[in-house]
Amino acid sequence: MPDKKAVVLLSGGLDSATALYIARDKGYQCHCLVFDYGQRHRREIEAAKIIAKRTGSTCQVIKISLPWGGSSLLDRKIKLAKKRFPAQDKIPATYVPGRNLIFLSFALSCAEALGAGAVFSGPHVYDYSGYPDCRPEFYRALKKVISCGTKAGAQHKQIKIMTPLVYKTKAEIIRLGGKLGVPFRLTWSCYRGGKAPCGRCDSCYYRAKGFREAGIKDR
């Protein structure tokens, strides 16, 4: 049935992988979108493709260019900071301008074309609270845009924006993913994208913290 199709934004990290497994657990036939946008941590792209294949989901890698930079994940001249404890009102240098809005626009277009009834994404407000496009109010506003700016909305065919992890901590996400069988060993979180996680960047720090608090061993 069309309403059981879902488009999943899959980065290759543990959050989006857990969102994919949630979608599958809910009975959705999943089509994954993976973005190659010039990020440092390109290794995550391969991780995403492997995870999508493991779940039996179809997968597309979308290559886009953000030549204006504006993020330490895109511009190697901007220093990639080590772990930090962000202030609630400070946007981290790893924020990519408009990234989630861009990705979700692609996902929405894809969902309309495929006749999918949902788009799954894995943002969460805890730990990464410095990112404005991970906040619940952003996704609530996006739902209004969908209802008045798409063919589906005009025809009263709802495309749901599903953010099942938005109020969960990293530890809670890991526990949930563990119950669903998410292969965490296949996911990639490190912003540096080397052969092994650096253990020093924000993403490595919060991943280690999450596994520690969840009482689960990583990898």
In the prediction, which pLDDT does 2 show? 46
Q: Is residue 176 part of a domain?
A: yes
In the prediction, which pLDDT does 202 show? 86
Could you give the 3-state DSSP secondary structure of residue 45?
helix
Give the pairing of strands 29-36 and 58-63: parallel
Could you give the 3-state DSSP secondary structure of residue 62?
strand
Domain, as residue range, for 19? 2-214
In the prediction, which pLDDT does 1 show? 47
In the prediction, which pLDDT does 94 show? 87
CATH number assigned to the domain comprising residue 148: 3.40.50.620
Q: Is residue 98 part of a domain?
A: yes
Q: Is residue 183 part of a domain?
A: yes
Please state, in angstroms and rounded to a whole number, the distance separating the CA atoms of residues 44 and 52.
12
In the prediction, which pLDDT does 81 show? 67
Q: Is residue 154 part of a domain?
A: yes
Q: Is residue 96 part of a domain?
A: yes
| pTM given for the model | 0.92
Q: Is residue 206 part of a domain?
A: yes
Q: Is residue 47 part of a domain?
A: yes
Cβ atoms within 10 Å of 148's Cβ, excluding its own: 8
Q: Is residue 219 part of a domain?
A: no
| pLDDT tens track, the chain, 219 positions | 445 999 999 999 999 999 999 999 999 999 999 999 999 888 999 999 999 999 999 999 999 999 898 998 988 878 776 655 554 557 888 889 999 999 999 999 999 999 999 999 999 987 555 788 888 999 999 988 888 888 887 787 889 999 999 999 999 999 999 999 999 999 999 998 778 899 988 889 999 999 999 999 997
| Total domains, the chain | 1
